[in-house]
Amino acid sequence: MSSTEFNTLLLGNVDFLRPYAVTLTKDSESAKDLYQETLFRALANRDKYLAGTNIRAWLYTIMRNIFINNYRRGNRQFRLLDNSAGEFLLHQQQPVIGNGAETNLRIKDVHMAVYNLPVIFKQPFMLYFEGYKYFEIAAMLNEPLGTVKSRIHFARKMLKSRIARY
């Protein structure tokens, strides 16, 4: 296929690319850039197009791949800038002041909830919380492994229901 035939075929089948670019980018300016990049890549790679195949599908694929690559590249660059005059980075090391009273209240709530658990659930849960493995807890308590796992599961469930979210 000659370049004039390819260019004619290409120009006859590019109108559907604009709405697809807007659908992908959700932004008219980015869509224009994506559209231009797609046409540029199609012209640069015209030797890879097989005559007689679906040119629209070929162009859709080029556009989709460009969009995906740009999206991945954008995620890697991590460019969070403030729009202020100095363009300072947003995530600078700023001191955080904690609220000790609120933290102490939460810790008290957690301790009370654990203390109020039935002994059958509290004992395996506390051993698990201290870092023991399920099979070690089962050996210590002379209980089957499945029983220990279910008791720890139910202890967690009870704690979630009893501890209020702030």
At 90, the amino acid letter reads L
Q: Which residues contact 160 (CB under 8 A, 6 or more apart)?
A: none
Cα(11)–Cα(142) distance, integer angstroms: 78
Cα(66)–Cα(68) distance, integer angstroms: 6
Tens of pLDDT, residue by residue, the chain (166 residues):
788 888 888 888 888 888 888 888 888 888 899 999 998 998 898 888 888 888 888 889 999 999 988 888 775 554 445 455 555 555 555 566 666 776 777 788 888 888 999 999 999 999 998 899 999 999 999 999 999 999 999 999 998 888 866 5
Is the pTM higher than 0.85? The answer reads: no
Which pLDDT score, from 0 to 100, does residue 82 have?
47
Cα(133)–Cα(127) distance, integer angstroms: 8
Which pLDDT score, from 0 to 100, does residue 83 have?
54
